[in-house]
């Protein structure tokens, strides 16, 4: 039996649109595209030369982020250019190659963890694994793979081919399980590091593709062990909007085990006090939305919100403060979780049970 993901691929592709981070990304160009009077010297003021092509300097990644990525890379490789730019460079040099794995995932819209992964393609010849950041990992385009339709989704390079959604996910999972790609995982989820990475990946791709993770074991069959995929997807949730939110959900799931309380991702609280769960298709509110909770327990009226670095901006802090006040007026208790809670799970192991006990006391007092 061959590839099982075609039907799901077609459904995803019908509803796919170019992700916001893809559309404005400056494109690599040849020197003549910079103008008739362009010279290598003038181009060097705004671009860097890579293999005979010119890349806008704004595409260069922050040196600190590059260094951190190299520390967690299995072979210590550091990538100064983002995955999307490297895909476009590769296409300009090898227009018939098909972007695959993490490179294809970047094209489909995955923003996280792709920029520290090597450029991957399907091509003719022998399979090779990149030994340096300037090399490309090549998978052999077998006869069976050649029969699977490719997609052209890059708004800037209409002929750039990528593997279909399900096959892209399959390749990324294989690279995680083989140790070809990795990133740092804090302790406290109850899963292996590779398991957490796989859940983070499936969460993110399920959200991008707008699918239920439970559809994947069948779609990935023949390429990935079905039982392994069923176990993996039992931990996944398309409501995970970032790897850190996934971590928070996995940690709270372990901490809350045995309490009988369930936290739902992306629960929506409305101004009339009602709640809905649009991600999982349960209920719809009729009044103004007060907040979309990263995790929420309606029974306890307990809300967990993950605050990443973006929440440090004044305008976001002000918005968070308004949301906190409205939720409090609706009798919700809000716990704002930061990276510090996830890096030191003992902090979360104290904060979360304390919050549950507070909510339970409130319920008892109201009763």
Q: What is the pLDDT of residues 56-113, one digit of tens each?
A: 999 999 999 999 999 999 999 999 999 999 999 999 999 999 999 999 999 999 999 9
Q: How confident is the model at residue 282 (pLDDT cuts 50, 70, 90)?
A: confident
> Quick check: 180 and 45 in contact, CB under 8 A?
no
Q: Where are the alpha helices (DSSP H) in the chain?
A: 6-15, 40-43, 63-72, 83-93, 101-108, 143-146, 165-178, 193-209, 216-219, 226-234, 243-256, 314-329, 339-343, 345-366
Q: What is the pLDDT of residues 223-241, one digit of tens each?
A: 999 999 999 999 999 998 8
Domains assigned to the chain: 6-234 (no CATH), 243-366 (3.40.960)
**Entry pTM:** 0.92
Q: What is the pLDDT of residues 161-202, one digit of tens each?
A: 999 999 999 999 999 999 999 999 999 999 999 999 999 999
> Quick check: 153 and 162 in contact, CB under 8 A?
yes
Looking at every residue in the chain, the average pLDDT score rounds to 91
Q: What is the pLDDT of residues 79-90, one digit of tens each?
A: 999 999 999 999
Q: Supply the DSSP string of 291-315, one letter for each residue.
A: EEEEEEETTTTEEEEE--GGGGSHH
Question: Per-residue pLDDT for 37 more than 90?
Answer: no
């Amino acid at each position: 039996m061959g590839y099982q993901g075609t039907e799901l691929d077609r459904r995803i592709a019908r509803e796919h649109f170019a992700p916001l981070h893809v559309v404005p990304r400056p494109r690599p160009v040849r020197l003549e595209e910079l103008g008739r009077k362009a010279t290598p010297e003038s181009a060097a003021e705004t671009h860097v030369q890579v293999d005979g092509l010119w890349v806008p300097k704004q595409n260069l990644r922050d040196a600190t982020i590059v260094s951190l990525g190299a520390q967690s890379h299995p072979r210590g490789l550091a990538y100064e250019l983002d995955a999307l730019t490297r895909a476009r460079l590769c296409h300009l040099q090898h227009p018939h190659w098909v972007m695959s794995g993490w490179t294809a995932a970047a094209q489909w819209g995955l923003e996280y963890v792709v920029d520290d992964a090597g450029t991957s393609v399907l091509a003719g010849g022998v399979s090779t694994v990149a030994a340096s950041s300037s090399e490309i990992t090549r998978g052999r385009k077998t006869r069976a793979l050649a029969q699977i339709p490719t997609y052209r989704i890059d708004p800037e390079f209409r002929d750039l081919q990528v593997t279909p959604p399900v096959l892209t996910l399959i390749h990324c999972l294989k690279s995680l399980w083989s140790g070809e790609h990795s990133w740092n995982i804090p302790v406290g989820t109850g899963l292996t590091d590779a398991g957490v990475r796989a859940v983070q990946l499936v969460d993110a791709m399920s959200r991008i593709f707008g699918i239920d993770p439970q559809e994947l074991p069948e779609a990935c069959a023949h390429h990935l062990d079905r039982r392994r995929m069923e176990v993996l997807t039992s931990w996944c949730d398309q409501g995970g909007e970032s790897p850190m939110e996934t971590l928070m959900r996995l940690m709270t799931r372990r901490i809350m085990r045995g309490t009988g309380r369930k936290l739902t991702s992306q629960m929506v609280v409305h101004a009339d006090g009602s709640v809905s769960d649009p991600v999982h298709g349960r209920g719809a509110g009729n009044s103004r939305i007060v907040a979309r909770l990263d995790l929420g327990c309606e029974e306890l009226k307990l809300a967990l919100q993950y605050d990443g670095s973006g929440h440090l901006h004044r305008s976001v802090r002000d918005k968070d403060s308004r949301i906190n006040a409205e939720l409090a007026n609706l009798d919700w208790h809000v716990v704002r979780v930061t990276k510090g809670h996830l890096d030191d799970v003992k902090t979360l192991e104290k904060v979360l049970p304390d919050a549950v006990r507070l909510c339970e006391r409130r319920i008892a007092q109201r009763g």
